[in-house]
């Protein structure tokens, strides 16, 4: 069922939000992200440190991952935006999960991690060499620590962050990752086919979402089911109805990626 058939409004400019939610009712959101144009061939990274260990790994450039069969774009993140001029959600209980961020095979695994306030990140190092993890938080306490081989460290997330936070390893400069910290569970990330789903969103009008990609933008030009659109400040508004709300296929021109 497509959003257009459900008459769900897509706002091109987000000027504010006065979202009204139907108590106890929820809907799901589905978006399929695809590349418009030919995917560039990205080279493997150049290993400059710990070559005897990391140099034996097949380390790919993960900034833009495109499915060769269907042009699906992986690692696009969409979440309900609750910041300035965003959506005021009903209070959400923390899930208090323990999530893993591994320094594995000389990359961060997963490359992008979605978290909620109250969660604990267990940063692990299953490799045979030491790693460093630099978490450049704004609202949580910034972290910059070394993890010897086979050890781990826990990081508790107490506050939401205003943007996706970079993760770096100061020992191995090619190691880059990203963490989203929000104060609600309504966030999703596209899979290998470019398909993203967010479950259990409260039914309501004018819900503000923000989209993010490591090297991509949505604010200049995208195509939604073939029609040109743009999401100002990478934000858009939708009315969420009960059941599945399918925005359809969002194509991102190759020129919108900074490679």
Taking only the tens place, the pLDDT of each residue in 13-25 is 333 445 667 678 9
Residue 8 banded pLDDT, cuts 50, 70, 90: very low
Query: Tens digits of per-residue pLDDT, 155-186?
Result: 999 999 999 999 999 999 999 999 999 999 99
Sign of CA dihedral 222, 43, 165, 31: positive
CATH code of domain 92-183: 2.60.40.420
Judged against a pLDDT cut of 60, whether residue 229 lies above it is answered with yes
Residue 54, SS3 per DSSP? helix
Q: Which two tokens stand for residue 248?
A: 């359809």
Contacts with 132 (C-beta within 8 Å, 6 or more apart), sequence order:
144, 145, 146, 147, 168, 169, 170, 171, 172
DSSP per-residue letters across 130-186: -EEEEE--SSSPPEEEEE-TT-EEEEE--S--SSPEEEE-SSSTT-EEEEEEESSS-
Domain extent listing, the chain = 92-183
78, two tokens: 């969409």
Q: List residues bridging with 96 in a β-sheet.
A: none
| pLDDT tens-place string over residues 108-143 | 999 999 999 999 999 999 999 999 999 999 999 999
Question: Can you tell me the mean pLDDT for 23-45?
Answer: 93
Average pLDDT, the chain: 93
């Amino acid at each position: 069922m497509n959003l257009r058939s459900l008459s769900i409004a897509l706002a091109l400019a987000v000027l504010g939000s006065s979202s009204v939610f139907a108590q106890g009712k929820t809907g799901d959101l589905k978006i399929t992200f695809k590349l418009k144009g030919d995917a560039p061939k990205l080279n493997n990274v150049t290993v400059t440190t710990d070559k005897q260990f990391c140099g034996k790994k097949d380390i790919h450039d993960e900034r833009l991952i495109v499915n060769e069969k269907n042009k699906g774009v992986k690692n696009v993140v969409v979440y309900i935006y609750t910041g300035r001029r965003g959506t005021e959600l009903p209070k959400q209980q923390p899930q208090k999960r323990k999530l893993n961020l591994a320094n594995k095979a000389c990359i961060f695994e997963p490359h992008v991690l979605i978290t909620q306030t109250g969660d604990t990140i267990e940063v692990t190092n299953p490799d045979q060499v030491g790693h460093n993890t630099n978490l450049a938080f704004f609202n949580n306490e910034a972290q910059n620590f070394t993890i010897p081989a086979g050890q781990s460290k826990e990081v508790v997330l107490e506050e939401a962050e205003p943007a996706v936070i970079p993760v770096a390893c100061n020992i191995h400069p090619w190691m880059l990752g990203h963490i989203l910290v929000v104060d609600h569970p309504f966030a999703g990330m596209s899979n290998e086919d470019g398909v993203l789903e967010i479950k259990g969103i409260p039914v309501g009008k004018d819900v503000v979402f923000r989209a993010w990609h490591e090297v991509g933008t949505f604010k200049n030009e995208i195509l939604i089911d073939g029609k040109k659109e743009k999401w100002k400040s990478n934000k858009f508004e939708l009315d969420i109805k009960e059941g599945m709300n399918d925005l359809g296929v969002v194509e991102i021109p190759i020129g919108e990626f900074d490679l």
